Amino acid sequence: MDRQQVVLHMNHGMGDNSYAHNSIIQKKVMREAKGIVEESMMRLYTIIPIHCFKVADLGCSSGPNALQLVSNVIDIVHTTTCNLNLKPPIFQFFLNDLFGNDFNSIFKSLPQFSEIIEEKKGHKCGACFINATPGTFYKSLFPNNFLHFVHSSFSLHWLSQNLIEAIKLECFDLPLYDPTIEEAKEVIEDEGSFTLQRLESVILDWSTNIKEAVDDDNNNKLDLNTKAEFTTKFIRAALEPLLKAKFGEEIMDELFVRYKNKIVQLIMGVKILEFPTLIISLIKKV
């Protein structure tokens, strides 16, 4: 097994630096994209008769967002089948991430999740089967023409997972790349396997974590150091395992203290720190 498939994952558990407690921005993006997901699935479900609806979430990670897509899909299909007076399908969800992902925390949340779905939908919802599919989506994970709907959020920016070569270098390069809208469109059109339905950019600011965690009155009272701490936790939850594999665990606290100080300097220089996130909807060509 490639080493990068083991070390490349978000911070496990439910601690202060865990991904579970520092993934509000990811949740925000999923909210923004829900309308496009709904549009895509309604088009699919009204065109193709589906008995067993097979959905994959590539890069599901763990924490409170891991089952968000499952919940959204069930809601959308439930509404669609009720409006069309159709029998609901059976659901089969494949949660995918690399081998180091904290799948156990997802499994532990399934009983409570199932109770919530049953309470909300009752007999009107088809049976739901949730599976883990560990492995890299840069390789084949499923048989050809096996899935109806494929979703991926905050995962495709991992352009390269070649950590072994990176270790051989004196300096460390993170295998990340955020394309522009134009670059993404060009790659999709040149590759030719998909029809581009929607391509949008959502602009978020780094203070999203703060706005979700505290009310506006308290948010206005926070000093720069506290605001920088929120941003640092978001970054640490996602990148610490990768950095730890290269530099060792003993320097992590000091590393992110220095990172926080850099964020303080940035906040002092600008009013808002923003970053774009691309939302892309594709249909596979026959």
Tens-digit pLDDT profile for residues 93-121: 999 998 888 888 899 989 999 888 888 87
Look up the pTM and report it. 0.62
Strand order in 128-134's β-sheet?
Answer: 128-134, 90-97, 52-58, 149-152
Share of the chain above pLDDT 90, in %: 20
CATH architecture entry for 4-284: 3-Layer(aba) Sandwich (3.40)
How far, in Å, CA of 132 to CA of 93, rounded?
8
**How does pLDDT run across 31-55, given as a tens digit for each residue?**
878 888 888 877 887 787 788 999 9
Q: What residues does 134 pair with on adjacent strands?
A: 97
* Nearest CA among 25, 53, 269, 14 for reference residue 149: 53
**How does pLDDT run across 3-37, given as a tens digit for each residue?**
555 556 555 656 665 655 555 667 777 787 888 88
Q: What are the sequence ranges of the domains in the chain?
A: 4-284
**Phi-psi category of 112—alpha, beta or left, where left has phi over 0 and alpha has psi -120 to 50?**
alpha
